[in-house]
Every structure is written in C-alpha cells, then in structure tokens.
A = this chain, B = another copy of it.
C-alpha cells in the first residue's frame, strides 16, 4: 500500500465523500419538508419524463440503477402511497406499465421545486459553465467505466 498514489484514488475518495454528504443533505431537506425520499423523486421524475409518461418495471429499474427485484417492491410501496399505478401492457401480457397518478404528479412538482431551490442555494457560487462542465466530466466518467476492461488475474482471499 505504501507509496499511496496521489491522483486517481484521491479523486475516487472525493467522489464517494461528495456523494455521501450531498445525498444526506438533500435527503434531510426533503424529509424536513415532509416530502418523500430522494428515491421516490427519482422514480417519479423518471416516469414523468418518459415518452408516454409510462415505463415498465424493467426499464424503470435500468434508469434508476436498481435491480428488477428491488424495483418491483419499490413500486409496491409507491403504489400503496397512491403516486403510481400498475397497468397491464396491452402489447405484452407479461409486462406491467407504471404510470404516474394525479397525486404523484403533485408531489413530484413540489419535490422538484424543493430540489431546484436546494441546489440553487448550495451552488450559488458556481457559474453555469462550471456546473455544465462538472456534469460532462461525470458523464464521461460513467461512460469510461461502462466499458470496463475485463481485468487480469483473480487473487485468492475470500473473506
């Protein structure tokens, strides 16, 4: 471990820390406002911007980066809250199409305003160019890891 590379792993650590802290801050803000969790906003927002305002469990899971299993149960909860509905897909009777309800659209709107305000406050010192640049670098990062090179020799440790 000794020489401790200064660059890339430090950046990675900054990434993990930023994610943990920003996520916590946003989450607290939403909770304090009596709004549903960040994940709920994500789900509703993803549905809302979808082509027909409806997506299948599969697609939803892929967008939000969740396993289909987790998404199935997640939809259970959000549906129980009355924010989305499961409809049978006329084209494929195996599939369900998830749609946002009236109430769902309402909480999405309120949550969205709240998020915009939170970010506007926190990023007050940022120029638009800086924000855009950061987003681009993050997309680039994701892309670079998407086509991850399948790596060399497996070690033997097994916890």
Measured between beta carbons, the chain B residues less than 8 angstroms from A25 are 145-146, 148
Q: Is B121 a contact of A149 with CB atoms below 8 Å?
A: yes
Contact with B along A1-43 (1 / 0, CB 8 A): 1001101111110111111111011100100111110001010
In the assembled complex, A156 has its CB within 8 A of some CB on chain B: yes
Q: Is B154 a contact of A34 with CB atoms below 8 Å?
A: yes
Which size class do A's interface residues fall under? 35 or more
Could you tell me the distance between the alpha carbons of A108 and B157 in the complex, rounded to whole angstroms? 11
In the assembled complex, A91 has its CB within 8 A of some CB on chain B: no
Q: Is A148 a contact of B122 with CB atoms below 8 Å?
A: yes
18 contacts between A and B (CB under 8 A): A7-B128, A8-B131, A11-B135, A12-B119, A14-B135, A14-B142, A17-B142, A22-B141, A22-B142, A22-B145, A34-B155, A35-B155, A35-B157, A117-B151, A125-B144, A130-B137, A134-B134, A134-B141
20 new A-B contacts, CB < 8 A, other than A14-B139, A21-B142, A22-B142, are A4-B49, A7-B131, A9-B119, A11-B131, A12-B119, A15-B18, A15-B19, A16-B65, A17-B142, A21-B145, A33-B151, A33-B153, A33-B155, A35-B155, A35-B157, A107-B159, A110-B155, A130-B137, A134-B141, A137-B137
